[in-house]
Amino acid sequence: MRRSIFEPEHEQFRATAKAFFETECAPHVEEWEAEGKVSRRAWQRAGELGLIGWEVPEEFGGLGLRDFRFNQIVSEEMFATGSTGIGLGIQNDIMASYLIGLTTDEQKKRWLPGYVRGETITAIGMSEPAAGSDLAGIKTTARREGDHYVINGQKTFISNGILADLVLVAAKTDPSAGRRGISLIVVEADTPGFTRGRKLDKIGQRATDSAELFFDDVRVPVENLVGEENRGFYHLVANLPYERLGIATYALPMARRALDLTLSYATDRKAFGTAIGKFQVNRHFLAEMKTKLEVAQSYLDQCVLAANAGELTAEEAAGLKWWTSEVQWEILDRCMQLHGGYGYINEYEIARLWRDSRVQRLYGGTTEIMKDLIGRSMGF
């Protein structure tokens, strides 16, 4: 499909990203899946190559370049070589908005240089055992005591939770105020009282570590408050469109990778003496997937440009997230079906892609929540 949104500098960046995923990541996928986490060396190498934190101001080690097309390219090249498991999306698509847009110069000086170099891995602690999409329902508290907050609570489903050096924690600084009492506070990994629970045993995305996090009288300096006290809910809501845009940039490259694998398989695999792709029903399935992928790609590209212009709305991001993740799942499930019994065998990449894709309809807000947000914006 013809795409006209990229400039020459984007293609130069793409070449760097492609080489990184092919040489530094793809050879280690099975090892990382077995260990349940990516090596820190891969993170540091990504930092050395400029694949982390290009939005960061130059004085703190970045390029001062805010352009979501670079985020998009990282996702596309990651899945062009197969799902590699390194959680750069958390670092670039989610945490950048908080660590750049809401921090003081002193905080930037402390946190951003290591973040850009890939030495400081980050995570965001929102979800709890009894609060997922309902951010107002979180139970974690941060009580002010002099020059410190004392944090107590638990988080779960935290991506990069095992490796993270910094965790941006959503906690209630005014429990009586509901969503108006939430603040965002950075907890550093060596802070007493902060512990990591079990590494969660997931169906898919096994190389991307996810964990439970516990906070037991964790004393954090007030200087670690990000944004305004008791305005955390609004900071989270303002940044969710970029998280959902990032999820969409994962969805379509994963679907495209699956379709490419399936086209190759449908050409080589024969039944009754004929390549299975030549059977009319399969040919129609392949045509449908190709068309839906191209339509969704155009939709995504326009949303990326809208984000760059500061015009992407919460409703548009919600629509993009649910549509692309549902198209992704439809394509992955159909591609697995076309592989027949081999699609269910782990040594075939399609099996891993199928497992890795399922969660896309859940995190960042489920499909049902996305539809509800859009419906409410329509006055219902």
Active-site residues, by number, are 243
Q: Determine how many CB atoms are found less than 10 A away from the CB of residue 44.
A: 15
In one-letter notation, the amino acid at residue 20 is F
Measure the CA angle with vertex 299, ends 293 and 304; round to 5°.
Answer: 120
- The answer to whether the beta carbons of residues 372 and 319 sit under 8 Å apart is no
Which DSSP string corresponds to 343-363? GGSTTSHHHHHHHHHGGGGTT
For residues 42 and 98, is the Cβ–Cβ distance under 8 A?
A: no
In angstroms, rounded to a whole number, what is the distance separating the alpha carbons of residues 173 and 337? 50
Single out the residue of 156, 157, 215 nearest to residue 185, CA to CA. 215
Exposure string for 3-36, b = 16+ CB within 10 A, e = fewer = eeeeeeeeeebbebbbebbeebbeebbeebbeeb
Q: How far apart are CA 367 and CA 182, in angstroms?
A: 25
**Residues recorded for the chain:** 380
* Beta carbons of 5 and 80 less than 8 angstroms apart: no
Distance CA 209, CA 202 (A): 9
**Biggest CA-to-CA distance, the chain:** 78
Rounded (5°) CA angle 270-271-277: 60
Residues 6+ apart with CB under 8 A from 91: 52, 53, 115, 121, 122, 160
Alpha helix positions (H), the chain = 8-20, 29-35, 40-48, 68-80, 88-89, 96-101, 105-117, 232-268, 280-308, 314-338, 349-357, 367-377
- The DSSP output letter for 200 is P
Tell me the one-letter amino acid at 175.
Answer: P
